[in-house]
Amino acid sequence: MTRQTLDQKLAILSDAAKYDASCASSGGTKRNARSGGIGSNTGAGICHSYAPDGRCISLLKILMTNFCIYDCSYCINRVSSNVPRARFSVDEVVKLTIEFYRRNYIEGLFLSSGVIRSPDATMSDMVQIARKLRHEEGFRGYIHLKTIPDASPELIDEAGLLSDRLSINVELPTDAALSTYAPEKNPGQIRRAMADVRQRREQSKDRSHTGKRPPKFAPAGQSTQVIIGADASTDATVLGQSTRLYSSYGLRRVYYSAFSPIPDSSAKLPLISPPLQREHRLYQADWLLRFYGFNVEEITSVTPDGNLDLDIDPKLAWALAHRGLFPLDVNRATRELLLRVPGFGVKTVNRILTTRRHRHLRYDDIARMGASMKKAGAFVTAGGWTPGQLIDSVNLRARFAPPPEQLNLF
């Protein structure tokens, strides 16, 4: 076999990493290079580029190697797949990260890997890359390490001290689906690893009795990814799992990744076009859970089958099912209720609340504040505006849903 060039390896190992949804570089400790070294982290993530699949490129997202001894059917790197394989050396990853960073292409590194030899051997190579970046290159940028669930606690411990974010993918919405499609992965093991990270993060926030702060452990928190549409789980199942993960392990984010056909796919999984709209609705619902005070049941009970309405967003779907609460008076309604108006975001609601201390709000005022009145109009009253019978009209949903489309015959 001929030796692969760095360019060839990069092609193979970035191609293999593209199924990981996360590329976030927000959060973490604030750092800069004024005292030496290179790089800074301001807390706000920067997306340096965008690919034609609409996803942002903030970090150099690569696999250390795509050799893997596991056989997860949804994964392109599974042992039974025939994709070309490659492996970076520690120095190659360090050099790529630093040189890309110097040219302002990236915010840092997101390193994942197939499992080679053993989980501990793989994790220790990944930790070595992070250690070299931090200690030898003086790198102050963002590092996100994907931990290998079976790796030993000492390695996870060091990984957390070197990186900004740790993550472990739960991959599928139920334990049963995971044991079907990823037989080597153990759902209990994944949850225990997340529990360890949460505990370690909490310990790192306690000052010692002398008042000294321990070193920060994964300051940007931990995240995970669920693959949507590979098994038959409903959105209610997926969102139920997310709320449990948020409450159990204090996760920063749960990423949803529509199952997408992969080259050389396994016979166990259907080759369908990825359910991108479903993924989008799940992100919207996730947002409502975290920032708008909704419960899972409220969002998922609107439709009978436990899946979100694909035509309209989940907040609108909820509002249409609870028309009795509307229209709300923008000048009087509480914050909690205003957050439930379709077309009002958190910023709009904050602006309404500060401004209405001074004066009575009219329709034009709210429109100027950034609300989407095309949506909100039917659900609110304001000075000079009342939706009249609109809220009770039979075809209210049809105003928002996309027009019916002729199916393609061929």
334-393: contacts with other proteins (CB under 8 A): 351-352, 354-355, 357-359, 361, 364-366, 368-369
* Locus of tokens 């750092």: 31
68 three-class SS: coil
Binds other proteins by CB under 8 A, chosen from 4, 47, 303, 331:
47
Binds other proteins by CB under 8 A, chosen from 248, 301, 335, 388:
248
Q: Tell whether residue 99 is a contact of other proteins (CB under 8 A).
A: yes
Q: Least distance in Å: CB of 404 to other proteins?
A: 22
Environment class of residue 104 by beta-carbon count within 10 Å: exposed (0-12), middle (13-18) or buried (19+)?
exposed
Q: Tell whether residue 138 is a contact of other proteins (CB under 8 A).
A: yes
CA dihedral over 199, 205, 209, 212, signed as positive or negative: positive
Binds other proteins by CB under 8 A, chosen from 54, 211, 304, 402:
54
Which residues sit opposite 56 in a β-bridge? 50
Size of interface with other proteins, in residues (CB under 8 A): 96
Q: Tell whether residue 271 is a contact of other proteins (CB under 8 A).
A: yes
* Locus of tokens 């120095």: 91
6-45: contacts with other proteins (CB under 8 A): 6-7, 10-12, 14-15, 17-19, 32-34, 36-40, 42
Residue 8, both tokens: 């060839």
Q: Least distance in Å: CB of 280 to other proteins?
A: 10
Give the Cα separation of 254 and 14 in Å (integer). Answer: 22
- Of all helices (H) and strands (E), which one includes residue 287? helix 276-291
Strands 165-167 vs 222-228: parallel, antiparallel or unpaired: parallel
Q: Least distance in Å: CB of 389 to other proteins?
A: 27
Closest to other proteins by CB, 165 or 191: 191
Please, what's the b/e burial string for 35-65 (b: 16 or more CB within 10 A of its CB; e: otherwise)? eebebebeeebeebeeeeeeeeebbbbbbbb
79-98: contacts with other proteins (CB under 8 A): 79-82, 96
Q: Tell whether residue 283 is a contact of other proteins (CB under 8 A).
A: no
Q: Least distance in Å: CB of 328 to other proteins?
A: 18
Task: Tell me how long the chain is.
Answer: 410
Binds other proteins by CB under 8 A, chosen from 198, 216, 323, 397:
198
Q: Tell whether residue 161 is a contact of other proteins (CB under 8 A).
A: no
**Candidate segments 58-66, 220-228, 298-306, 321-329, binder of other proteins by CB under 8 A:** 58-66
166-195: contacts with other proteins (CB under 8 A): 174-175, 184, 187-188, 191-192, 194-195
Helix axes 276-291, 235-249, angle to 10 degrees: 40
